[in-house]
Amino acid sequence: MRQRIAHAAARVGRAPGDIRLIGISKTMPPEAVREAVGAGLLEFGENRVQEAAEKIRALAGCRLRWHLVGHLQSNKARKAAELFAVIHSIDSVELLRRVDAAAAEAGRAPDLLVQVDLAGEATKHGVPESALEPVLAAGREARAARLVGLMLLPPLFDDPGACRPYFRRLRALRDRLAAASGLALPELSMGMSHDFDVAIEEGATMVRVGTAIFGARPWA
């Protein structure tokens, strides 16, 4: 895995250390995470708050950094602010404000990313390009949380190269928004098991890799 990251980074002259590998451990038991920790992985991602809470408790001794990559309902914002170092799935002004308020109360300072819907997929969560500006404005006003970038969950294609245009668009969008909003937005969360090499070539700083690390999931 590290070698695939290093090769993809080298192809475009990036330092492999600039790319964070996040092991997506959803549906996997704590023992599987422990095994990955043994192999040197320290950052993990989950898509459900409740499932994550149990795993985080079970692995509390391991000093891991936990990411939420799945949709967050606003009634779970408090719990998410307490549990996660990074939340990738901010998709509304209201959710951002709730997470920030909860983080301030809990004395936490999570990093936040805005999930962007570039494909206009009504079935998925994410903010359409045209509605990003107020979310970024709310990010600028956050007191405890820090808005650090954008996240993309592109449509599923068999061919990993088919996602390249989406990755490229997310990066261009980030560059444009960073210049316009005054936020640095250094992070681009994009790329999963079958296409993270391509995402790295296009500027990903966080890749979310599940099955390529843990094997096939029993359920999704």
Which positions touch ligand PLP (CB under 6 A)?
A: 24, 26, 47, 69-70, 153, 192-193, 208-212
Q: Closest approach of Cβ 24 to ligand PLP, in Å?
A: 4
Q: In the beta sheet, which residues pair with residue 22? A: 208
Residue pair 197/159 in contact (Cβ under 8 Å)? The answer is: no
Annotate 127-166 with DSSP letters as a single string.
Answer: EEGGGHHHHHHHHHH-SSSEEEEEEE-PPP-SSGGGGHHH
State which residue has the least CB distance to ligand PLP.
Answer: 210
Q: Which is nearer to ligand PLP, 27 or 181 (CB)?
A: 27
Q: Closest approach of Cβ 209 to ligand PLP, in Å?
A: 5
138, 135, 191, 125: which is closest to 164 by C-alpha?
191
Q: Which is nearer to ligand PLP, 56 or 213 (CB)?
A: 213
Q: Closest approach of Cβ 214 to ligand PLP, in Å?
A: 8
Q: Which is nearer to ligand PLP, 118 or 192 (CB)?
A: 192
102, 213, 86, 194: which is closest to 150 by C-alpha?
86
- N-term to C-term CA, the chain: 22
Q: Closest approach of Cβ 177 to ligand PLP, in Å?
A: 21
148, 170, 166, 160: which is closest to 198 by C-alpha?
160
Q: Which is nearer to ligand PLP, 153 or 200 (CB)?
A: 153
Q: Which is nearer to ligand PLP, 47 or 92 (CB)?
A: 47
Q: Closest approach of Cβ 159 to ligand PLP, in Å?
A: 14
Q: Which residues contact 65 (CB under 8 A, 6 or more apart)?
A: 42, 43, 44, 85, 86
